[in-house]
Amino acid sequence: MSHLSAKQVQGFVTQNAIYIVLVLLIAGIAIYDPNFLSITTLRDILMQSSTRAIIALGAAFVLITGGTDLSAGRVVGLTAVISASMLQSQDYPRRFFPDLPDLPLLIPILIAIAAGLLVGLINGIIVSRFSVPPFIATLGMMVIVYGFNSIYFDMEPNQSQPIAGLRSDFNQLGTGYIGPSGPYSIPYIVIIAIMVAFIVWVIFNKTRLGKNMYAIGGNMQAATVSGINVAFNLMIIYAIAGALYGLGGVLEAARTGGATNNYGNMYELDAIAACVVGGVSTSGGIGTVPGVLAGVLIFGVINYGLTFIGVNPYWQLIIKGLIIVAAVAFDIRKYLAKK
């Protein structure tokens, strides 16, 4: 180990750039204000990153196939509104469905996730059966979903009032935790995000669907001539992505205790940014779950940490933008070396 060549070091840095950046970022903020290093900080960052991680993992599915999904944010909004509208407490005066009895918690959640899955499935059909470029297909879907959500949100008697007064069991899902109260408790949504990340990791690495996904993104022709049903796989992948956005939307509503039709606006861009910073290639075929999680955490640390040390929020935007561009410029060097 004492004789690491410059090349090996360079190789290590290039291959693990994303994790090194994350550590440096935390170190930098901690040097500025040592109070940053605390269990409370960690817990807060993980909590804020949980729904974003789930949405980003959904986006990663689509990006790895070489596609893109602009509808993610609006699907989050749709499913937040759907789940919230069915999970208000009986004593709240302005209920979305005044006469709706208390449903088992799982039913509205599953309905909302199914709505996300349906939108994703339609995206997949448009992309794979009608050969509409994913950027356009999901751009259209983004607008359509917002339209439908706004119509639903504007129905009598709600008339575009923010949906609030959520049932405490639903609220608990987003804000509750396991263990003693205080910094050492583990929030449910963090547990959910970890479980989702694990399942997605298994799908990516251990299933035919995952391997097909990498092959489709890496070389679609190769996948086709190897007898893979590319269209079918794409439909499933877009549908899974939609379902994950759906879960993200449900948890956003539960976490914040309400929903409006503008929930999730622009989340798709955050998700795509986290993915590319985490090493997912927008031209397809490349990307890992740990990378995506690291990408999400980098933005979590920036959001939380820079606010923590009092950086002007507008400067925070500029820093975020620079990180997105710099990360990809650096990451792409891994693959460009050929010329």
Partner 1 sequence: MDQHAFLLEMNHIHKEFPGVKALDDVTLKVRPGTVHALMGENGAGKSTLMKCLFGIYRPDAGEIVLNKEQVTMSSSKDALAHGISMIHQELHPVPFRNVMENIWLGRFPVKRIGPFPFVDEKKMLSDTEKLFADLGMDLNPHAVVRDLSVSKVQSLEIAKAVSYQSKVIIMDEPTSSLTGNEVEQLFAIIRELKSRGVAIIYISHKMEEILRIADDVTIMRDGKLIGTWRATELTTDLIISRMVGRDLTQRFPSRSNTPREPILKVEGLTSPFPQSFQHVAFELRKGEILGIGGLVGAQRTELIEALFGLRAVSAGKVLINGKEVRIKSPKDAKKYKMALLTEERRVTGIIPVLSILENTVIANLSSYQTPFLLLNERKCRADVSRSIEMLRVKTPSMKALIKNLSGGNQQKVLLARWLLTDPDILLLDEPTRGVDVGAKYEIYTIIAELASQGKGIIMISSEMPELLGMSDRIMVMCEGRLSGFLSGPAATEEEIMRLATKHLA
Which residue ranges make up the site for partner 1 (CB under 8 A)? 202, 206-208, 211-212, 214-215, 218-219, 221-229, 285-286, 338-339
Closest CB to partner 1 among 208 and 333?
A: 208
* Residue 181: both structure tokens together: 């109260």
Q: Which residues pair with 163 in a beta bridge?
A: 259
Specify the 3-state DSSP secondary structure of 168: helix
Question: Residue 186 in 3-state DSSP?
Answer: strand
Is the distance from CB of 124 to CB of 238 less than 8 angstroms? yes
- Give the C-alpha separation, 96 to 259, whole Å: 11
Q: Where are any strands of DSSP class E within 73-194?
A: 177-178, 186-187
CB of 64 to partner 1, least distance (A): 10
Q: Smaller CB distance to partner 1: residue 100 or 228?
A: 228
Find out whether 87 and 101 touch, Cβ atoms under 8 Å: no
- Residue with Cβ nearer partner 1 (135 or 315): 135
Q: Minimum distance between the CB of residue 330 and partner 1, rounded to whole angstroms?
A: 18
CB of 212 to partner 1, least distance (A): 8
Could you tell me the smallest distance in angstroms from the CB atom of residue 204 to partner 1? Answer: 11
- Taking each helix axis from N to C end, the angle separating 267-277 and 39-64, rounded to the nearest 10 degrees, works out to 90
Specify the residue, 8 or 161, whose C-beta has the smaller distance to partner 1. 8
Closest to 68 in 3D by CA, of 13, 17, 142, 118: 142
Minimum Å gap between C-beta 261 and partner 1 is: 37
> Between residues 5 and 181, which has the closer beta carbon with respect to partner 1?
5
Q: Which CB sits closer to partner 1, 18 or 25?
A: 18
Geometric angle at alpha carbon 94, from 88 and 95, rounded to 5°: 35
For residue 47, the minimal CB distance to partner 1 (Å) is 30
